[in-house]
Chain A
Amino acid sequence: MVTSTATAAASSGHDWGDVAASDASLRRFLHGLPGVDQVGAEARAAGLGTRSIKTTAKAFALDLAIRMVDLTTLEGQDTPGKVRALCAKAIRPDPSDPTCPSTAAVCVYSDLVATAKEALGSSGVHVASVATAFPSGRAALDVKLADTRDAVAAGADEVDMVIDRGAFLAGRYLEVFEEIEAVRAASGPAHLKVILETGELQTYDNVRRASWLAMMAGANFIKTSTGKVQPAATLPVTLVMLEAVRDYREQTGRMIGVKPAGGIRTSKDAIKYLVMVNEVAGPDWLDPDWFRFGASTLLNDLLMQRTKMQTGRYSGPDYFTLD
Chain B
Amino acid sequence: MSRLDVRKTYKLFIGGAFPRSESGHSYVVDDVRGRFVANAALASRKDARDAVAAARKAFPGWSGRTAYNRGQVVYRIAEVMEDRRPQFVQAVRQGEGGTAATAEKELDAAIDRLVWYAGWADKIAQVVGNANPVAGPFFNLSTPEPTGVVAVVAPAESSLLGLVSVVAPVIVTGNTVVVAASAQRPLPAVTFAEVLATSDVPGGVVNILTGALDRTIPTLASHMDVNAIDLTGLAGDPEQGRALEVAAAENLKRVRRAPSAEPDWDADPGLDRMTDFLETKTVWHPIGV
Q: Please say whether chains A and B are actual partners in one complex.
A: yes
Chain A residues packing against B (C-beta within 8 Å): 312-319
A47 to B71, CA, bound (A): 48
Q: Complex Cα distance A312/B224, Å?
A: 11
Q: Which residues of B contact A312 (CB under 8 A)?
A: 222
Rounded to whole Å, the gap between the CB of A305 and the closest CB of chain B is 11
CB distance from A255 to the nearest CB of B (A): 38
Q: How far is the CB of B98 from chain A (nearest CB, A)?
A: 39
- Return chain A residues, CB-CB under 8 Å to B223: 313-314, 316
> Would B222 and A316 count as touching, CB distance under 8 A?
no
Instruction: Give bound CA distance, A319 to B224, whole Å.
Output: 9
Kindly identify which residue among A313, A316, A319 contacts B56, using a CB–CB cutoff of 8 Å: A316
When chains A and B are docked, how far (Å) is the Cα of A7 from the Cα of B225?
Answer: 55
Would you give the shortest CB distance from A266 to chain B, in whole angstroms?
Answer: 11
Q: How far is the CB of B76 from chain A (nearest CB, A)?
A: 30
Give Cα A224–Cα B250 distance, bound, in whole angstroms.
42
Residues of B within 8 Å of A314, CB to CB, are 49, 52, 219, 222-225
Question: How many inter-chain residue pairs (CB < 8 Å) link A and B?
Answer: 25
- Counting from the closest, the 9 A-B pairs by CB-CB distance are A316-B225, A313-B222, A314-B223, A316-B224, A315-B224, A314-B49, A313-B224, A319-B224, A314-B224
Chain A interface, DSSP helix/strand/loop, else mixed: loop
A317 and B227 CA atoms in complex are apart in Å by 12
- Name 25 A/B residue pairs within 8 A (Cβ), A-sorted: A312-B222, A313-B222, A313-B223, A313-B224, A313-B247, A313-B250, A314-B49, A314-B52, A314-B219, A314-B222, A314-B223, A314-B224, A314-B225, A315-B224, A315-B225, A316-B52, A316-B56, A316-B223, A316-B224, A316-B225, A317-B56, A317-B225, A318-B224, A318-B225, A319-B224
> Interface centre among A313, A315, A319, by most B CB within 10 Å?
A313
The chain A residue sitting closest to B149, CB to CB, is A316
Chain B residues with CB under 8 A of A317: 56, 225
A253 to B250, CA, bound (A): 54
Give Cα A288 to B185, complex, Å: 53
* CA of A319 to CA of B52, assembled, Å: 15
Interface 1/0s, chain B 46-70, versus A by CB < 8 A? 0001001000100000000000000
Q: Which of chain A's residues have a CB closer than 8 A to the CB of B219?
A: 314
A117, chain B: closest CB distance, angstroms: 35
Find the residue from A314, A315, A319 having the highest chain B CB count within 10 A. Answer: A314
Residues of B within 8 A of A315 (CB): 224-225
8 additional contacts (CB under 8 A) given A313-B222, A316-B223: A313-B223, A313-B247, A314-B49, A314-B219, A314-B223, A314-B225, A315-B225, A316-B52
- What's the Cα separation between A235 and B56 when bound, in Å? 29
Residues of chain B from 96 to 153 with CB closer than 8 A to chain A in the complex: none
In the bound complex, residues from chain A placing their C-beta under 8 Å from that of B250 are: 313
How far is A315 from B222 in the complex, measured between Cα atoms in Å? 9
Cα distance A317–B53 when bound, in Å?
A: 10
* Nearest neighbor of A315 in chain B, beta-carbon distance: B224
Of chain B, the residue at the smallest CB distance from A307 is B224
The CA-CA distance from A319 to B223 in the complex, in Å, is: 12
Contact pattern, B 217-254, Cβ under 8 Å of A = 1, otherwise 0: 00100111100000000000000000000010010000
Q: Which residue of B has the minimal Cβ distance to A316?
A: B225
Residue of B nearest to A313 (CB): B222
State how many angstroms separate the Cβ of A55 from the closest Cβ of chain B: 16
